[in-house]
Amino acid sequence: MNAINTLTKRLPGASLLLSLLTVSLLTSCSRFNNDGSLATWGYVILALDVFALFDIFRQDWGIGKKILWAAIVFLFPLGGLILYFLFAGRGKSST
């Protein structure tokens, strides 16, 4: 049980890092400017992904539901955001 508590405390940081790496590595060419820098829409999607991941782990859901929604947002940065904000059944998050 102690190992699970330690894991759940580390998940938000790890998912944030993985999301940052995934968005920076797997973004389509249309999100980049001619000089290779991330375009404005790339930054917007990245910021929304980070916000969604923090919001997911602040919800009072079970760990399975948190991991499922984090995986959806992580694997599908734009589509996952849309699905999360439309269908997650989010309540007020405890800050």
Domain boundaries, the chain: 2-87
Please state the three-class secondary structure of 42-89 as a single string.
HHHHHHHHHHHHHHHHHCCCCHHHHHHHHHHHHHCHHHHHHHHHHHCC
| Model pLDDT for residues 25-63, shown as the tens digit of each residue | 555 445 556 665 667 777 788 888 889 988 998 989 899
The whole-number pLDDT of residue 29 equals 45
Q: Is the per-residue pLDDT at 14 higher than 70?
A: no
User: pLDDT confidence of 68, banded at 50, 70, 90?
Assistant: very high
The whole-number pLDDT of residue 35 equals 65
The whole-number pLDDT of residue 48 equals 87
Predicted TM-score (pTM) of the model is 0.57
